[in-house]
Amino acid sequence: MVYMAKLILNYPTLILLYGFPGAGKTFLARQLCEDIHAAHIQGDRIRAELFEQPRYDKQENEIVSHLMEYMAEEFLKSGISVVYDMNASRANQRRILRDLARSAKAKSVLIWLQVDHESALVRSSKRDHRKADDKYSLSMNDDSFQNIAGQMQNPVQTEDYIVISGKHTYKTQRSAIVKKFYDLGLISRDTASTQVIKPGMVNLVPNPAAGRVDQTRRNVVIR
């Protein structure tokens, strides 16, 4: 079994998420928060706790966003990284959040979870609210999904972002994130190197006392 060390960030960091409904943003956020001891600010949960019957209208969206921004700023000023679990779908929204991070003397990075339309729609229309990652999420039909997807603005090259697959396991997603964190100076070389799975070679050098070596039993294992 492979045990990966916790990630220790050099600076408090605001981690933004971008992707279709059903891309796996909350799945990633939950596990990443455990890895870097970050605060998980989950928009869907805040909305569910504030409003007994959410309407998802403009006024309600503004209340949720303002509360999330306030919480994120307070955590960052206290030196605590934040995973901002609300779709940073608009360029202006991302600019405001990056400005918030700078004012709190923190770094920011955007993670773009990519998944095809069809898979994302199936996921978002079949939420299982018994599961932790789906508990507060809204189940969508085709119209509501297309309405959200149609208003999204993809990140541009001037934005610091990383693209990962929303279909990959967290272990694979994590490796890509670690590389980006290192490139941005958020983790040290030593920290980055501890995240690399290194193969240990077994039976590549035969023991003379063991007699004839069975070539089929030579192997490589991951430690």
* pLDDT tens, position by position, 46-87: 999 999 999 999 999 999 999 999 999 999 999 999 999 999
Predicted pLDDT of residue 11: 96
Is 1 part of a structural domain of the chain? no
Is 212 part of a structural domain of the chain? no
Is 203 part of a structural domain of the chain? no
Q: Are 9 and 204 in contact (CB under 8 A)?
A: no
**Which range marks the domain in which residue 21 is found?**
13-193
How many CA within 13 A on the CB side of residue 115?
Answer: 22
- The CATH number of the domain holding residue 23 is 3.40.50.300
3-state secondary structure of 31: helix
The owner of tokens 């990966």 is 4
Is 201 part of a structural domain of the chain? no
Q: Are 83 and 43 in contact (CB under 8 A)?
A: no
Is 131 part of a structural domain of the chain? yes
Backbone angles phi, psi at 132, to 5 degrees: -60, -40
Is 56 part of a structural domain of the chain? yes
- Where the chain has pLDDT below 70, the residues are 1-5, 194-223
pTM here?
Answer: 0.84
Number of domains within the chain: 1
